[in-house]
């Protein structure tokens, strides 16, 4: 039977073994750390909440555009505030706007309802309104509108839109200027000329207006 190792030798042997194990463990940990550093980072998922997704739905992008609203008849008013039958710059500008409208281009019938104030005899007022309607018609024809589309109705003083006289019987010049006008109605193709809307019903003339007309006659 051999003698056991001296105590000092045993201590040195255990210490050496401990250092060796510690060194091996340290090297293994270092190797793991370097492998983790060399591994590429995972790419972010495209389906994550942080991504920017399109808000345009494919079915809406491919849908047909909405149709334009249906065309409706057009009404306009051409004024003759200064009297007579000559078209002013403002009147021709209004007519140019009507000429550029899709209703005018569509080719439907046109009704010109011509009016006068109450400053003269009834037959003279009718002639004045007729002349204003013809002035509007001629301008439209000169700018490419077929004359067969146009109908003139001369109302004279029958349908005022403002009082021709003040309550004391004196002339209402502002009201008379508004009454000197031509109402333009552009109907849609296929509509008859008689289908144009009637003039808005006006209240019966006042006593002052009747007196004014009687004195004018």
Summarize pLDDT for 88-139 with one digit per residue, the tens.
Answer: 999 999 999 999 999 999 999 999 999 999 999 999 999 999 999 999 999 9
**Cα 145 to Cα 133: distance, rounded to the nearest angstrom:** 15
Contact 193, 151 (CB under 8 A): yes
**Where does 74-216 sit in CATH, by number?**
3.30.1330.60
**Cα 108 to Cα 89: distance, rounded to the nearest angstrom:** 26
**Cα 206 to Cα 41: distance, rounded to the nearest angstrom:** 95
**Cα 214 to Cα 217: distance, rounded to the nearest angstrom:** 5
pLDDT-derived band at 212 (thresholds 50, 70, 90) equals very low
Domain boundaries along the sequence of the chain? 74-216
Summarize pLDDT for 158-187 with one digit per residue, the tens.
Answer: 999 999 999 999 999 999 999 999 999 999
Q: What are phi and psi of 76, to 5 degrees?
A: -145, 165
Length of the chain: 217
Summarize pLDDT for 195-210 with one digit per residue, the tens.
Answer: 444 444 444 444 344 4
Sole residue written with tokens 């552009």: 186
pLDDT cut 70: percent of the chain above it: 59
- Whole-model pTM over 0.85: no
């Amino acid at each position: 039977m051999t003698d056991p190792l001296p105590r000092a030798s045993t201590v040195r042997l255990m210490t050496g073994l401990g250092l060796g194990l510690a060194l091996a463990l340290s090297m293994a940990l270092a190797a793991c750390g370097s492998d983790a550093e060399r591994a590429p980072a995972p790419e972010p998922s495209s389906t994550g909440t942080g991504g920017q997704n399109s808000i345009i739905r494919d079915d809406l992008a491919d849908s047909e555009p909405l149709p334009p609203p249906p065309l409706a008849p057009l009404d306009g008013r051409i004024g003759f505030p200064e009297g007579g039958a000559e078209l002013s710059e403002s009147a021709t500008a209004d007519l140019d706007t009507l000429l550029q409208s899709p209703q005018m281009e569509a080719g439907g019938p046109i009704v010109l309802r011509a009016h006068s104030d109450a400053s003269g005899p009834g037959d003279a007022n009718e002639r004045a309104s007729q002349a204003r309607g013809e002035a509007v018609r001629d301008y439209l024809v000169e700018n490419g509108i077929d004359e067969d589309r146009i109908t003139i109705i001369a109302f004279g003083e029958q349908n005022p839109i403002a009082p021709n006289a003040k309550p004391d019987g004196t002339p209402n010049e502002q009201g008379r200027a508004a009454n000197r006008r031509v109402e333009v109605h552009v109907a849609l193709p296929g509509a008859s000329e008689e289908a144009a809307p009637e003039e808005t019903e006006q209240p019966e003339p006042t006593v002052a207006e009747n007196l004014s007309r009687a004195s004018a006659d």
